[in-house]
Amino acid sequence: MRWLLILLAVFGIVVSSLALREHYRTDPSPCSINEKWDCGIVNHSPYATLHGIPVAVIGIAGYLLLGALAFGKKYSWMLPFVTIATVFAIHLADIEAFVLGVWCIYCAASLGVITLMTVLVIGKVIADSTPRAR
């Protein structure tokens, strides 16, 4: 479980880093697929920062923390962080869907990664707390 969660955290860092690159990009976005998928629009919107910090930076820091906790097998410590991160990622997806009307492929990938991490961590915490038959 540890290595799977670390691998997912690394993937989360990669997609968050790509989103951060889009945040600072001044030329046209290479992931501008069509009118519904454009990372440039999403990452240049006012919703791409939280108190002046790019959301992608928060994502990178969060995935680093989760990767470190997974490395230490601190699954119960991971639980509140993955839960908060999933709720925040869903909030951002709602903004993409209902406010901006445009999706970011990197943001969608990050939502998938954090959701999978949350499910795995919940399952691991439950499995670890369940008494085993002798």
- Whether 134 is covered by a domain: the verdict is no
- Whether 79 is covered by a domain: the verdict is yes
pLDDT for the residue numbered 134: 59
The closest of 46, 74, 56, 73 to 12, measured between CA atoms, is 56
- Whether 111 is covered by a domain: the verdict is yes
Share of the chain above pLDDT 90, in %: 77
CB-CB contact of 123 with 79 (8 Å): no
The CB-side HSE value for 92 (13 A sphere, CA atoms) comes to 30
28 compared with 129, residue with greater pLDDT: 129
User: Could you give the CA distance from residue 3 to residue 28 in angstroms, rounded to a whole number?
Assistant: 36
Angle between helices 105-129 and 75-94 (to 10 degrees): 150
Residue 133 has pLDDT above 70, yes or no: no
Confidence of residue 58 (pLDDT cuts 50, 70, 90): very high
Q: Could you report the per-residue pLDDT of 27-46, keeping only the tens digit for each? A: 877 777 788 888 888 988 99
**Mean pLDDT (the chain, rounded):** 92
Q: How many domains does the chain have?
A: 1
Q: Which two tokens stand for residue 36?
A: 């519904």
Domain, as residue range, for 119: 2-129
* Whole-structure pTM value: 0.90
31 compared with 98, residue with greater pLDDT: 98
Domain harbouring 10, CATH code: 1.20.1440.130
